[in-house]
Structure 1
Amino acid sequence: MKSLKKEEKEYMITRIQEYFELERGEEIGELGADQFLDYMVKELGPFLYNKGVHDARQMVEQKVMNLDEDLLSLERPAGRPTR
């Protein structure tokens, strides 16, 4: 997996520290929050990534279905009419 940008990682570390303090009443240092983030990305990241891929695939399939319907609506009758 592509690594996070420095700003993104810093933001996430800060949010983890805030969560531990506000929700759990615990203090977690920057190193601990960084290690926790790395663990979460390693263990949970693939599940979240795969969910994103699945959602994107469904959206693309719907768009293709709509495009196919739009293209079919452009067809014109061909050949001679029967009498």
Structure 2
Amino acid sequence: MPIELPKELRDQAVRSIERYFQEEREERIGNLAAASLLNFFLQEIGPTVYNRAVADVQERLQARVAELDLEVHEEEFGYWRQAGVARSPRR
């Protein structure tokens, strides 16, 4: 499944790549070169990051599900304990 970015995010990413090259490497990189580099990263490295994120979410969800019984557990047959007093049966 290829990773696609909406146009607005893609444009921001391209500008960020251009800025990185300018400020960190003191090199100018054109818009087309930055877009090409972004495409390479999305295609080559993106799936690794995506798969790791999915695995992390699965771990967190499994941990939450394991704790679910503690979080939402209700005591059964608790009426008499809540009453605090053992009532005598009516005659």
Q: If the length of structure 1 is used for normalisation, what is the TM-score?
A: 0.82
The offset of 1:66, in angstroms, is 1.1
Q: How does 1:54-69 map to 2 (within 5 A)?
A: 54-69=55-70
Output the amino acid matched with 1:74: E
Aligned to 2:36: 35
Aligned to 1:3: 4
Aligned to 1:51: 52
The offset of 1:69, in angstroms, is 2.6
SS at match of 2:61: helix
Higher share of residues assigned helix: 1
Counterpart CA distance in 2 for 1:49 and 1:2 is: 9
SS at match of 2:63: helix
Question: How many residue pairs get matched?
Answer: 76
Output the amino acid matched with 2:74: L
| 1:20-72 deviations in Å (ceiling 9; x for gaps) | 0101110000000000000000110011001110110011011101112335x
Identity %: 33
Q: If the length of structure 2 is used for normalisation, what is the TM-score?
A: 0.76
CA 56–46 in structure 1, closer or farther in 2 if over 3 Å, else same? same
2:22 aligned with 1:21: yes
SS at match of 1:17: helix
Structure 2 unaligned blocks of 5 or more: 78-91
The offset of 1:75, in angstroms, is 4.5
Indicate the structure (1 or 2) with the bigger Cα radius of gyration.
Answer: 2
Q: Which has the higher contact order (CA 8 A, sep 6+)?
A: 2
